[in-house]
Amino acid sequence: MESLVQHLSARWSLGPWGQELLAAAAILLVAALVFVVALTYAGIITWVERRVAGRTQSRVGPNRVGPFGFLQWLADGAKMILKEDVIPAQADGPMFRLAPYACMLGVFTAFVSVPFGQLLIAADLNVGILFLLAITSLVVVGVLMAGWASNNKWSLLGGVRSAAQIVSYELPAGLAVLVVVLGAGSLSMQDIVRAQGGAPWNWFVFRDPFCLVAFFLYFTAAVAEGNRTPFDLPEAESELVAGYNTEYSGIRFGGFFLGEFANIYLLSAIATSLFLGGWQVPGVSPAEQAGSVWLQLLGFAIFFAKAWALVFVVVWLRWTLPRLRVDQLMGLCYRYLIPLAFACLLGTSLLLLAVVPGSALDLGLRLGTTGLGALGGALFAWRVAHHIRRAGDRVSLDVLQRGARGAFDPAWQTRRYGAFRKAARGQEER
């Protein structure tokens, strides 16, 4: 981006002011691009969530707008924009209006330093991951503002819960990130991705057992920071009506909504680049990848696939698990996750001292951890298959369908109401 601006300003022989203007225009263009990408991803995740929820719950989900209902999110967006933007009379007006922007800002700005590909990053900051952790904390400001400004007790409770939760869960998330930073020796997102490799045993998640635990810690904490089930207390429907966004409607509600869904992609993308090798293509070094457009595209596709797989997991969790209670939530964080994260940090640091990178011990550790992960995955798959087989033996969905058909079977209806009909006809004839 910088070189492009320099090139163009040299070609058009611009003065210092012209250069500044050109740079500003370029920044605006990139910002708009990032915003549109984030918005699109957030929208598509709403569709994914509704489809996955439908399938999880033995229903169909949206299937009217576009193929498989894919354009449903556009229709929903249009609906939200067209709806009346109600601001309660007793609300703190300016703060109420600003709150959704704070939420969106926190999430959408973070997309700036997400490495979608080797070259597809808006700004590879040298403090990248720190920036991400810091800027996403802005969400809590928005949530608190919304909770306070709504002048609604449920909103206030939601806001306070959210603040406590996000601030608490940033600790294990940050500590888990530190485990990775220790290994990579850099805070830059691209450097962290480059420090890994394309093959699973070169990913940070399988570098050693502590990293494996750190991955789960980060994922759990990030899901909690994103206010998703089982940690969705700030907007717990059955307790707090809708939590901090109870009073919001129209596109202002949409702001929170999009922020939340963009956050799902964000946490998946960060987890992918920190732990799952990001855009690295197996068997191809970053230098080789930089030289080829096709390898670049492949790298983007690999990143895309991994990130969306994690998005699916987040959605899947939401429709599977109940919600924790406030004290259980805090207990989980301070009693289990944070000590565990500290243990991981300590363990990784000791291993870094003891194991020489590239040695046989290092490779053995990596392969062993990968095997452990694969074993866990296989065990899970086996259990799922076992339960499906066991249930499939005995549960028959035919019964339900036969019942439904029976209820709408005209012959049956005639038989059932035949007597009434005959009597009615008899009366008419008379």
Partner 1 sequence: MSPELQQVGREEFVLNMGPHHPATHGVLRFVLHTDGEIMRRAVPEVGYLHRGLEKLAEAHTYAAYVPFTDRINYLESMFCNQVWSMAVERLLGLQVPRRAEYLRVIACELNRIANHCIALGSIAMDVGAYTPFVYLLREREAINDLLEALCGNRLTYHYVRIGGVAHDVDEGWQGKVRAYLDHLEPILDELHSLVGGNEILVRRLGGVAVICASDAVGWGLVGPNLRASGVDWDLRRDRPYSVYPELSFEVPVGRGEQGQVGDCYDRWTVRVAEMRQSVRLLRQALERLPAGDILAKVPRSIKPPAGEVYQPVEGARGELGLYLVSDGSPKPSRAKWRSSSFAALSIVEHLSRGLMIADLVALIASLDPIAPEVDR
Binding region for partner 1 (CB under 8 A)? 56-59, 153-154, 157, 160-161, 229-230, 232-233, 236-241, 319-328, 391, 393-396, 399-400, 402-404, 406-407, 412, 415-417
At its nearest, how many Å lie between partner 1 and the CB of residue 319? Answer: 5
At its nearest, how many Å lie between partner 1 and the CB of residue 199? Answer: 34
Alpha helices (H) along 115-208: 128-136, 138-149, 153-184, 189-194
Nearer to partner 1 by Cβ, of 357 and 406: the residue is: 406
Q: Cis peptide leading into 230, omega within 30 of 0?
A: yes
Nearer to partner 1 by Cβ, of 242 and 281: the residue is: 242
d(CA 230, CA 323): 4
Nearer to partner 1 by Cβ, of 112 and 236: the residue is: 236
- HSE-CB for 356 with a 13 A CA cutoff: 3
> Contact at 8 Å (CB) between 203 and 275?
yes
At its nearest, how many Å lie between partner 1 and the CB of residue 43? Answer: 22
Nearer to partner 1 by Cβ, of 185 and 392: the residue is: 392
Other C-beta atoms lying within 10 Å of the C-beta of residue 181: 20
Nearer to partner 1 by Cβ, of 74 and 330: the residue is: 330
363: amino acid identity, one letter:
L
| Residue among 178, 107, 172, 176 nearest 136 (CA) | 107
> Contact at 8 Å (CB) between 162 and 234?
yes
402: amino acid identity, one letter:
R
Nearer to partner 1 by Cβ, of 292 and 328: the residue is: 328
At its nearest, how many Å lie between partner 1 and the CB of residue 359? Answer: 40
Helix (H, G, I), strand (E, B) or coil at 89: coil
d(CA 162, CA 226): 10
At its nearest, how many Å lie between partner 1 and the CB of residue 160? Answer: 8
Other C-beta atoms lying within 10 Å of the C-beta of residue 44: 16
| CB under 8 A, 24+ apart: contacts of 75-80 | 76/46, 77/43, 77/254, 80/250, 80/251, 80/253, 80/254, 80/257
Nearer to partner 1 by Cβ, of 7 and 415: the residue is: 415
Nearer to partner 1 by Cβ, of 285 and 396: the residue is: 396
Other C-beta atoms lying within 10 Å of the C-beta of residue 364: 11
Nearer to partner 1 by Cβ, of 155 and 280: the residue is: 155
At its nearest, how many Å lie between partner 1 and the CB of residue 53? Answer: 8
At its nearest, how many Å lie between partner 1 and the CB of residue 424? Answer: 15
Nearer to partner 1 by Cβ, of 11 and 394: the residue is: 394
- Which residues 6+ apart lie within 8 Å of 174 measured at CB? 133
Nearer to partner 1 by Cβ, of 194 and 228: the residue is: 228
At its nearest, how many Å lie between partner 1 and the CB of residue 89? Answer: 18
Q: Is 329 exposed, middle or buried (0-12, 13-18, 19+ CB in 10 A)?
A: buried
| Residue among 288, 296, 318 nearest 116 (CA) | 296
Estimate the crossing angle of helix 128-136 against helix 250-275, to 10 degrees: 150
At its nearest, how many Å lie between partner 1 and the CB of residue 389? Answer: 12
The secondary structure element, H or E, covering residue 255 is: helix 250-275
